[in-house]
């Protein structure tokens, strides 16, 4: 059954090609609006899921995937266009590759993965959305954020690295505990 929160999440996924189209056309103000709609719809679907008690495995899986696809597509396109540093985009992509690879390895070597985002990961995602939104607003002439961008890039880089390290640490410890428990 498709719940209202899951429908909103699916809509967010469907906005990704629209975002990429506007970025490819260098229509940054429109890209900003689409990206912000995706961000706000993320808040809305989470609110509705809690308010209506409509939690599902589909939603738990699709929601972070939608977030990551929005961030990754926007970051890669902005780096391609020279609006976001390649080192930051590479860090974002690498972190997500490490997390996905780790989750797949955990699944096959240990068992079912129940992803639970940490507070640091949530802060990182919020900051990634914020910096990408700021870059888009700046490129679209909505705000003049030029002097703020480099410090924002640095802060996001630190949270990307710290949350990636945290995920590796937490899930490595879980895997070791599981392995020890299985061998006894």
pLDDT at 63: 86
The distance from CA 164 to its chain's CA centroid, rounded to whole angstroms, is 12
Q: pLDDT per residue over 54-84, tens digit each?
A: 888 777 778 888 999 999 999 999 999 999 9
| Residue 162 pLDDT greater than 90, yes or no | yes
Separation in Å, CA 146 to CA 74, 77, 130, 153, 154: 18, 18, 14, 11, 14
Smallest Cα–Cα separation from 93: which of 101, 104, 103?
101
Residues above pLDDT 70, as percent of the chain: 98
What's the average model confidence in pLDDT over 78-104? 94
Q: pLDDT per residue over 110-149, tens digit each?
A: 777 777 788 999 999 999 999 999 999 999 999 999 999 9
pLDDT at 143: 96
- 184 burial (CB, 10 Å; 0-12 / 13-18 / 19+) is exposed
pLDDT at 31: 98
Model pTM?
0.89
Task: Read off the pLDDT band of 156 (50, 70, 90).
Answer: very high
The secondary structure element, H or E, covering residue 28 is: helix 28-52
Q: What are the residue ranges spanned by the domains of the chain?
A: 4-183
- CATH class entry, domain 4-183: mainly alpha
| Residue 28 pLDDT greater than 80, yes or no | yes
- What is the pLDDT of the chain when averaged over all its residues? 91
């Amino acid at each position: 059954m498709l719940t209202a929160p899951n429908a909103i999440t699916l809509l967010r996924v469907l906005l990704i090609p629209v975002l990429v189209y506007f970025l490819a056309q260098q229509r940054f103000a429109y890209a900003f609006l689409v990206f912000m709609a995706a961000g706000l719809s993320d808040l809305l679907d989470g609110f509705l899921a809690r308010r209506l008690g409509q939690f599902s495995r589909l939603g738990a899986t699709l929601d972070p995937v939608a977030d990551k696809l929005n961030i990754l597509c926007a970051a890669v396109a902005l780096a391609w266009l020279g609006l976001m540093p390649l080192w930051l985009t590479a860090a974002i992509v690498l972190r997500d590759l490490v997390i996905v690879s780790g989750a797949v390895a955990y699944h096959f070597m240990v068992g079912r993965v129940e992803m639970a985002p940490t507070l640091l990961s949530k802060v990182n995602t919020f900051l990634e959305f914020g910096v990408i939104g700021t870059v888009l607003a700046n490129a679209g002439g909505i705000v003049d954020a030029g002097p703020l961008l480099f410090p924002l890039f640095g802060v996001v880089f630190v949270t990307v690295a710290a949350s990636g390290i945290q995920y590796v640490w937490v899930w490595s410890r879980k895997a070791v505990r599981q392995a020890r428990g299985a061998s006894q």
